[in-house]
Amino acid sequence: MKKLWLDLGNTRLKYWIVDGDTIITHDAKEHLKAPNELLLGLLGTLASFQPEFVGISSVLGDKINLALTQTLQTLGVPFEFARVNAHHELLSSHYDPNQLGVDRWLQMLGVVNKNQKQCVVGCGTALTIDLIEHGVHLGGYILPNVYMQRHALYAGTQQISVKAGRFDSTALGQTTFDAVNHGVLFGVVSAVRAIQADYPDFVITLTGGGANMLNQQFGNELFVEPELLLKGLKRYFCC
């Protein structure tokens, strides 16, 4: 049975089309604040694979989700939006389910193992840190990612001009440009190092578009699962 797993995040639309455990095709595209328009443009491609079910994760709010619903109805196949389930058989949570984003929850669901203590770090539009102890979500943190931090610094100061640049070092900056880029990366890396220090027996898994960049600062020694949310979506509908 072919299925379409669809992830609508704050900046990107990602999808898998699967047949059983085999990924037939996948893609990720920036939706530029127009996710429904992007989905409309992809419908022909998605329909050509003849999926029999569509599972969706969306963090885009009720108004956009309604538009997405109307678009998906034109596919003519059953579809469903994933919802946070604080009493799921694999992952329970102390968090108020109405305050827990479905993206964070699905990322955790994609990796949770009741035999482990785990930390999931989502490296997306925001940096999310969530702790799981033997299948129980304990809580977490949400931080601006490096790009948001840099933008906020530029927007709130008069003497620092806006420049792009890679986030590839936490060394002491010798110019203002390096001090900004190294500094915001230093803050994110320090947050993860603090988790390592405070929860030394928790296995850390990085996911999201910035996972590899962050892992480089740890000697590439942390686990990286770039598509953890889509794995969680599959688990949500297939368990």
Catalytic residues: 103
Take residue 70 and report the two structure tokens written for it: 């109307």
Locus of tokens 């955790």: 108
Q: Which secondary-structure segment (H or E) carries 65?
A: helix 62-73
Report helix, strand or coil for 63.
helix
Report helix, strand or coil for 26.
strand
Which residues touch 138 (CB under 8 Å, ≥6 apart)? 94, 131, 132
Take residue 118 and report the two structure tokens written for it: 């785990």
Beta strands (DSSP E) in 46-174 are 53-58, 79-81, 92-93, 117-123, 126-133, 136-144
Q: Are 108 and 91 in contact (CB under 8 A)?
A: yes
Exposed/middle/buried for residue 63 (C-beta within 10 Å: 0-12, 13-18, 19+): exposed
What is the rounded CA–CA span in Å between residue 109 and residue 9? 17
Q: Are 105 and 93 in contact (CB under 8 A)?
A: yes
